[in-house]
Structure 1
Amino acid sequence: MGTAAGLRSAGRTWALGSCGIFYLGIAAIAWGAVTWVEVGAWTYHYSDRGDYAWEQARNYCQTFFTDLVAIQNKQEIEYLNRSLPFHKRYYWIGIRKLHGTWTWVGTRKALTKEAENWAAREPNNRRSNQDCVEIYIKRPQESGKWNDESCNQKKKALCYRASCQPFQCSQRGECVETIGSYRCECYPGFHGPECENVVQCAKLEPRGVHMNCSHPYGDFSYNSTCVFRCQEGFEQRGADTLRCLPSQQWSADTPTCTAISCPVLSAPDQGELNCSHLYGDFTFGSKCAFSCQTGFALTGPESRECTATGTWTGDSPHCEAVACPVLSVPDQGELNCSHLHGDFTFGSRCAFSCQTGFALMGPESRECTATGTWTGDTARCKAIACLALSAPDQGELNCSHLYGDFTFRSKCAFSCQTGFALMGPESRECTATGTWTGDSPHCEAISCPVLSAPDQGELNCSHLHGDFTFGSTCAFSCQTGFVLMGPESRKCTATGTWTGDNPRCKAITCPVLSAPDQGELNCSHLHGDFTFGSTCAFSCQTGFVLMGPESRKCTATGTWTGDNPRCKATACPMLSAPSWGELNCSHLHGNFAFGSTCDFSCQTGFVLMGLESHECTAMGTWTGDTPQCKAISCPVLDPPSRGQLSCSHVHGNFTYNSTCTFSCEKGFLRMGAEMLWCEATGNWTRHAPVCEEDGAPFLKQVLAYSSGTALALAGIVLSGMLIALLAKRLSNREEKKKLLNPTSDLGSPGIFTNAAYDANL
C-alpha cells in the first residue's frame, strides 16, 4: 500500500490513495481494492494492480468511485504528476473523442481550447482510431501532458470521488464543490441549506369563479398554477391563468365574473309580460312569459330566456284574434257568412243551403268559437244515389261519377277480359229516380280450333273455360331419343288462334367427331349423321397406341359415351448422358417417344465407346446399347534410375488428367521436369526426367586443395587435371540438359528453366 497526500486548490480538496486486488461480492471481479484518506471532499484514486482498456478503466472508476478524473487546472496536473508513481504505460483520464469532438465524459462537455494540455504534436491519431487520452506521469519529457491513444491499450485508471451527489441540494439546486465541502446554489423559488424549502404565495379564494390549480411543490407554493373560468353566461374580467412567482407574488390579480346582459323586453299589444330574474334585471338566466287577452291567441313563443350570448331565445311574440278554419261553399250548395273581428275569426257566423236535386247533410249554420273551432259538423250537399253495380264474370266495370259513387248522372261502361265477348248493353246510366237504364250484360269465352298430337309425340291439354277455348293450354312431348322442334306448349289466344307453330319430333344430335391425330375414325348412323344411336370406332397408325375408349356412342342426352381418345407415340425408356459425356436429342412426337433421335458425345479427354446415335422404334426400344465415355490413356511411366515416381490418377492409371511427380535419391540431381501431366491427346506434357550424380562435393574438394599457401608443382599439375576432369563432366551435363529441356516454355507444368537447372547443378 502507498501513502496518501492532500492538496487544497481551486475549491477542491484532493486525497490520493493506492490500491490492491479486491474481489467484489462473490463474482471475484479482478478490480483493485482501494484505500484513501476521506476528507469529505474531492479525492483521487488509482490502482497499482492490473492495467485496463479505457472502457474497463472507466467501469472500474464508476464502480468504486465517481468516474475517470476530470482535470480542471494546472495545479491539479502538478499535484497528480508529483503524487502518482511512475508507470511505463501511464494513466487513463476522462477525455474521449465523441462524434469527432474531444469530450469530458463525466459532464458530457466539450474540451475547450483554453483547457487543452496536449503534448507536442499531439493529438496525432496516427490513423489508428486513437480516441482516448492518457496523462504522462513522471515522464522524462513533457511530464503531465496528454496524448491520444487507442482505447484498447492497457493502462492504469485514474479516478476521482466527488463530494456532490445526485440526492444533495434536494435536486432543487446546483451542488458546487467547495474547499473541504460543498454548497447548494438554489434554483429560483427554493431556499434553505439543502434547498429544501419552497417559496409560498397567498392562498387564492375567488368568489363566483371556477378555479383549477396544480401544485408541484405544495399548496399555493412556487410554480403553483391556477386556471380560472367563469360559468356559462358570465364574463371574466382579468387573466385566465395565475402562477406563483419566486417573489412570493402571483403573476396577476384574481379575476372576477359578471352576468351577461340582454336587451329589455316589453309586453305585446293586447298582451301581458311576466319576468323572473336570477342575477339582475334582464341578464343571463332571466325568463319572461307572454300571454294574451280573451279572444286573442299568442303568435310566437310563450316565453323567452336570456342566453349566455346576451340574446333572447325565439322571436318577439304578438297577439292576434283567434281564427277558425276558412269555410268553403259545399259542392252543389251555397254559403252566406257575417264577420265581427275579421274573416272567419271568433264571432263569425255562416249559413248553408243546397241546389235542386241535392239534400243538405249537416247543420244549416255554424259559428266560430273562442277556441278557434266551428260549432257543429261540416255541412255538405249529397246527390241522390242508385244501387251499386258490379262487373260481370270475366268482365270489367268502368264508371264515371259526377257527384259521388253510383249517384245521379253516374255512368258505367261494361267490357270483357281478353278472350271473352260481351253479351248485352255496353253501358248503363243512373237516372234522377235512382234507377239504372238497360239490363245486366255477361261475358262468354272465345273458341280455338281443335289440336292433335304430332308424329312420334304426345299431346296433353288443360281447359279453363271449356274445351279448346281461350286459356286452354296444350303441352307437347317426344319419345326417348327425339327432341321437340318447335314450342313445348301452345295456348288459345283471345283472337281464337293458337300461339306458335305446330311442333315436330327430331332425333337428338351429338357433336361431330373427328379422327385423332395419327389415327382413324369409322362410324355407323341409325337416325342421321352423328345422332342418337350413332356408334364410332377409333384406331391408331403403326407406332402409336390408342389412349381412351375404342368406341363411343351418341346417347339420348346428346352427348357421347366416354372421353375423346388420342393416339400416343410408343414410349422408349428415358436416356441419360454417360459420365463425362453429353446427350442431345430431337423429339417428333414427345420426349423419348417413337421417332425420337439421341446423339451421344464425350467431354475433352474422353472417347465414346458405342454407337453415337440411337433412335426410338415403333416397338418402344432403342437401336443399339447405351454408350460410355472412357478416359484417354497415356504411356505407362517408370521411375528413373536412382529416383522415385509418385502418381495421382483421376480417371484411371496413366489416363487423362493423371499427374506424376519425380524425385532423386540423395547425392543425385533431377535432370528434367519435376511433374508430368497426361493430356487429352494421350501424350505426357514432357519427357520423363533422369537422375545424375551431384558433382558439387568433388568441386569443393578441388577448390580446397588448390587454395593452400604453398602449392607444390605436383599439386598444381594435379589441380589442373582435376579441373579438366570437372569441365568435361559439366560439358556432358549441359548436353543432357539440352536433350531433356529442348524448349523454353516457362508456363507449362514440370518444365525447368535454365536458371532452375543451374540451381540444381
Structure 2
Amino acid sequence: MGTVLGLRSAGRTWALSSHGICYLGIAAITWGMIIQLEVSAWTYHYSDQGDYTWEQARNYCQTFFTDLVAIQNKQEIEHLNKSLPFYRHYYWIGIRKLSGTWTWVGTKKVLTKEAENWAAGEPNNRRSNQDCVEIYIKRLFESGKWNDEPCNRRKKALCYQASCQPFPCSQRGECVETIGSYRCECYSGFHGHECEDVVQCTELEPKGVQMNCSHPYGRFSYNSTCMFECQEGFERQGASTLRCLPSQQWSADTPMCTAITCPVLSAPDWGELNCSHLHGNFAFGSTCAFSCQTGFSLMGSESLQCMATGTWTGDTPHCEAITCPVLTAPEWGELNCSHLHGDFTFGSTCAFSCQTGFTLIGLKSRECMATGTWTGDAPRCEAITCPELSAPDWGGLNCSHLHGEFAFSSTCAFSCQTGFALMGPETRNCTATGTWTGNAPRCAAITCPVLSASDWGELNCSHIHGDFAFGSTCLFSCQMGFALMGSERRECTAMGTWTGNTPQCKAITCPVLSAPDQGKLNCSHLHGDFAFGSTCVFSCQMGFALVGPESRECTATGTWTGDAPHCEAVACPLLSAPDQGKLNCSHLHGNFTFGSTCAFSCQTGFTLMGPESLECTAMGTWTGDSPHCEAISCPELDPPSRSHLSCSHMYGNFTYNSTCTFSCEEGFVRMGAEVLWCAATGNWTRQPPVCAGMNGALLKQVLAYSSGTALAVAGLTLSGMLIALIAKRLSDREEKKKLLNPTSDLGSPGIFTNAAYDANL
C-alpha cells in the first residue's frame, strides 16, 4: 500500500503510511497518504488527502480500521487536539442523530448528558438537517469542542483502530477503549483485569441432603447450580435448586431434609409407650414399644415402626385386665364384690361377712392380683366366742355351753366365799357381738374410805382385794420442791379404817434475797415468800449496769439458780490531758464511770479551747467533746523601716514564746530593744525598735542616755564613729536590762539601777 515512516517520542509511536481509500458503493477511488497516530494498543488514524462526507468517512474508517472515532473522555479530546494537524474543515467523529437521539455509532451507545462536549450554542440544527458531528482541532477558540453539521459536507475522517480485538475480556465482559489501552467492564459474576476471575460462593456442605452440582466456571462459583434430593422417608424443606449469584450469595438458603412424620401415638389406657426417634418425634424410623401396667395384658403388636409412607406398621394395641377365678360366699356368710375393670378381673375386690353370731376367720377381703390369683386364702365363718371366764378371787364359776365353750349363747353363774360379797351380776351370757352381758363380778373385801393425794403430793397404793379395800396399802409422797408433813404409809384394816393421819406437802424454802447496791429487787412467789418456784428479778439504777443474771429462781433443792448479781457504774471512754494542759478528775463509782467529773486547764501561755469540765453520763458518754490548749497569740510584728526582722516560733506564728530579733541597715542605728519575746499575757516584752540616721536629734538622745557631762569632763571628742558606738551600747544596755530583769517588761520596776546597769556595760 505504500511506505510507513515511524517516529517514537514520549512513549507514543507516530506512523505515516500510504493507503488506498475506497468508497464503497461509489465509482470514484482516491489514493492518498494516511497519517496514523498510535498510542499503545488503541490507535487513531486520519487521511491527509481529500475531504469526505460523513458516510464516506465512516466507510473509509470501517474499511481500513474499526470505525469513526468514539470519544469516551476529556483526556482523549485533549490528546487528539494536541496530536492532530489543523484542517480548515475539521474532522468527522462517530456521533450521529438516530431517531432524534445523538448516538455513538461504533458502540451503539446513547450520548449521555455528562459526556457532552458541545461548543457554545451547539447543537443548533440549522435548517433541521444537521445530524452529524465534527470536532474542532486547533481552532483559535473552543478548540476540541463539537459542532453539529449537515452530513453531506466534506471533512477529514478521524478513525480509530480498536484494541479490543479479537476476543478481549475473556469473553466475560465488555471491552471499553481507553487512551493507550482498554479496560474490561466485566459481566455480572466476573472480575479481574481481563474478567478472568469468577465470583466465588461459599462451598455448600448440606447435612442429610443429597446434592448434585454443575460448575460451568469452577467449583461453587458464579452460575454454579446445585440440585438437592432427599432419601426415602425424608422430605425437602426449601428450594430444590440453588444458583451462585453475582453477589457471591446463593439464590436461596440451603435446604434441609426432614423426616416424614407419622401420626402421634399415645400410650393405651393402663399402658405405657416407649419410643426411640432417629430423625425426630414420631418421624420416619421411629420405633415405639407398647407395654401394659401391672395387672394388664397387651392385646396387639408389641411395637410399631413409622414407615416412609408416614404410616405405622400396624394398629395401636390396647391393654386388658387379667382375670381371676370366680369367688363364692362362705357357709354362714356373704360375699360383696366391686369390679374396676370387669367381673373378677385385676383390681376387683371382694369383701366377706358372716351372719349374726358368727365371726369371720381369715381375710375380710380378697383382691384379684396381676398374676390372676386372689390374695390370701378363702375365709370361713365360725360362731363368735366370748372371752374365757374364770371364777373371781374368793369366788366360784358354773357355765353351760350351747355352741362350744364360752361361745355364742353360753351362760355362766358366779358365787363368793364366806367373808366376801359379790359385786356385780350373778350370771353373764355370751352375746352375738362376742361380749358377755353385764360386767365381770368380783368378790370384794370390806372397803375403807377412798384416799386422795394432798396438794402438791402424790398417792401410790397397792390393793390386794380391791381399791381401798382390806389389805390395801397407800404410800404418800410430795412433788419436787415440796416436803411431806405427816404419815408416809397408811393401811386399810379389817375394820374399814386407815392407820395413821392424813399427811400434807409444804414448799421447800430458799434463803431470803436482798437487792444489790445501787439496784432493785422484784420477786414473785408462787408457794410462799422465797419458796420453791419463787422468781426474783434484779435491776440497777440509772447509770449502773447489771453484772450477773437478771433473774434467779428458787429450786427444788432450796437453793437459788445462778450467783448473786451486782450493779456496776456505766463506763465512759478514758480521757487524757490535752497537749500543754492538765487533767483533774473526781470519780464517784470508779475511774471514768457514771458520775465521774474531769476539769481541764492549760499551762502558762496557753488558753483552753472547749468546755472546762466534762461529766460521764448514765449513757456512757461524756457531756461534750474533749477540749484542747492553744498557744496565746501576740500582735503580729512587721519590720520597721530600714530594718530586718527574724523570728522563731515554738507554738505558732507570733504566739507564746515566739522570739523576734531586729537589725538595722548599714548607716542606721537601732533605737530600742534588739529582741522581743511574746509573753503569756499576749503582749510583747517591749515596743518594736526603730532605725534612725545619725542626726542632731539622735545625738541629743545619745547624750541623754550616756551622761554627756561625764563625757565632757573626760575631754572626749564625739565623732560619728563614737556616736554610733554609743547608740549601739545604749541599745545593748536595754536588751541586757530585759534579760537581767524580765519582769520590768511587764511594767514593774527592775532589780537593777541605772548605775548598776551602767557598771555592767
TM-score (norm 2): 0.37
Larger Cα-atom Rg: 2
TM-score (norm 1): 0.37
